Structure 1
């Protein structure tokens, strides 16, 4: 009987959390902001307030941002970053995606390139704003060491080409611990250290422990609480306004859309929210 009560409680908590994820972005709150054209306005919840101020607004006027999402493999954007992508695109910001390999570990690199373009269409990111690098020294795979100097050089070129003023990437653990994810993080850090790009904001996706990682929407409660503790705005929680879009985008990666990745998308907290930390 006790076991049944525990299971029922967990199911109830999951449903309540999912409802909060789905309904929270649509609930009007007292605080609202108007774009400088005076026509468009939108409401934000308290946990979005500081993030909107720090990322979206500069002074009193709305400022369109050029954000560069730096990932290691095709499908990283759909598995881990869809809440961030959905947030930025829904607010009218430019999102550029720099994928630093074609994901050719299984010899499917050319297929995975096309899948990434299709996924970005589902995520409302124009194909011309997606760049995929196929460098002989940046090949997908565990045990493949990527040069941080090379990564910094490629990222810097993309920053210059696209007039980037914000970078979003993995943290030092890389969510899954994949060495390529971690190298991307250190490549960005190398760039910041060497060039002192103080006019560019850098945000990293916070890795969580395995319990939080596979708690699905339930993690929203702790994520919001931890973000609110950082009153200086250095950590923000973004709730996915379009969770279904995460599934649609990941399904475009048909060569990777196997049963355990379907489970990952359903159970992963990264489908429902992203916690970003300022570097």
Structure 2
């Protein structure tokens, strides 16, 4: 009997925690949608959102909770998604393959995707010409008439120099194109990044954020990016906080 009572208490606590998590997630996600709509307008004005990334697979490794939520939320699921990937991810000579993988992801999420192949903007440790890249970003934003941009923050999420360059270029673009709204995916410290419970709870207190249990979705997306499969991919999928939540900082002028 005591063992049965212990199990019952454990189950009860688990149910309470799950219900609490669900309610907090719903509240955070509602705030996210409200904030999103307030940033870009409402009604017919909510038309296009753009993602600016550095490499094929950035969208899957880091932005899957947001992509999945946009597709499932009735209020915003009709927003058109555009994506500019500034390289083909050709550092290891797999640019053609990675481009094909990226396009499959774009079809999955019904995104209009442009993958650049500019020899002066290379995947790797080399510095980019931030001014030139910022004009490329501006040309893209104007061509698709996006109201809003999602991209990396100044730390680049993973610390990759190309991710940091993307942030700098978008920031430079915004200094000229002031009416665009830019939301930057928040980076986390190395220890925190791989402890999702802490990041999830913190995200509830730091809007705007999306909470969505997405490790299966990240796993499916990374299965499409077969060229990037490594022995540790499954560990990333399960333990990365970016499989569960996306928290953003709004770029100010």
TM-score under structure 2 length normalisation: 0.84
Q: 1:66 corresponds to which residue?
A: 48
Partner of 1:252: 224
In structure 2, what is the equivalent of residue 45 of structure 1? Answer: 26
Q: Which residue of 2 aligns with 1:125?
A: 110
Partner of 1:268: 240
Q: Partners of 1:221 and 1:166 in 2: how far apart? A: 26
1:121 CA displacement: 3.0
Matched, 1:207 2:174: no
Q: Deviations over 1:215-239 (max 9, x none)?
A: 13442112212x1xxxxxxx41101
Could you say which residue in structure 1 is the equivalent of 2:8?
none
Q: 1:147-201 CA distances to partner (integer Å, 9 max, x unpaired)? A: 11111111111111111100110000101111000000000011112x1x23211
The equivalent residue for 2:202 is 222
Give aligned pairs, total: 234
Could you say if the C-alpha distance between residues 66 and 133 of structure 1 is closer, same or farther in structure 2, counting changes exceeding 3 Å? same
Which residue among 67, 70, 79 is the counterpart of 1:88? 70
CA RMSD of aligned residues (A): 2.6
1:134-149 map, 5 Å: 134-142=117-125, 144-149=126-131
SS at match of 1:138: coil
1:237 aligns with 2:223: no
Matching residue of 2:96:
110
In the alignment, the residues of structure 1 paired with residue 67 and residue 47 of structure 2 have an alpha-carbon distance, to the nearest angstrom, of: 13
For 1:41, the equivalent position in structure 2 comes to none
Instruction: Report the Cα distance in structure 1 between the residues aligned to 2:83 and 2:147, rounded to whole angstroms.
Output: 13
Q: 1:59 to 1:101 in 2, by over 3 A?
A: closer
Partner residue of 1:77 out of 46, 52, 59: 59
Cα deviation for residue 265 of structure 1 reads 1.6
Please show how residues 151-162 of structure 1 align to structure 2 within 5 Å: 151-162=133-144
Change (3 A) 1:60 1:159: closer
Per-residue deviation, 1:53: 1.7
- CA distances 1:225-267 after superposition (whole Å, capped 9, x unpaired): 2x1xxxxxxx411012544222111110101011122211211
Question: 1:268 and 1:19, CA in 2 relative to 1: closer, same or farther beyond 3 A?
Answer: farther
CA contact (8 A) 1:82 1:240 kept: no
The alpha carbon displacement at 1:81 in A equals 0.8
CA separation in 2, counterparts of 1:218 and 1:242?
16
Question: Is the helix fraction higher in 1 or 2?
Answer: 2
Q: 2: CA distance between counterparts of 1:55 and 1:186? A: 22
Instruction: Name stretches of at least 5 consecutive residues in structure 2 with no aligned partner.
Output: 1-10
- Structure 1's unaligned 5+ residue stretches are 1-11, 30-43, 228-234
**Contact kept in structure 2, 1:215 and 1:268, CA below 8 Å:** yes
2:157–2:188 contact (8 Å) kept in structure 1: yes
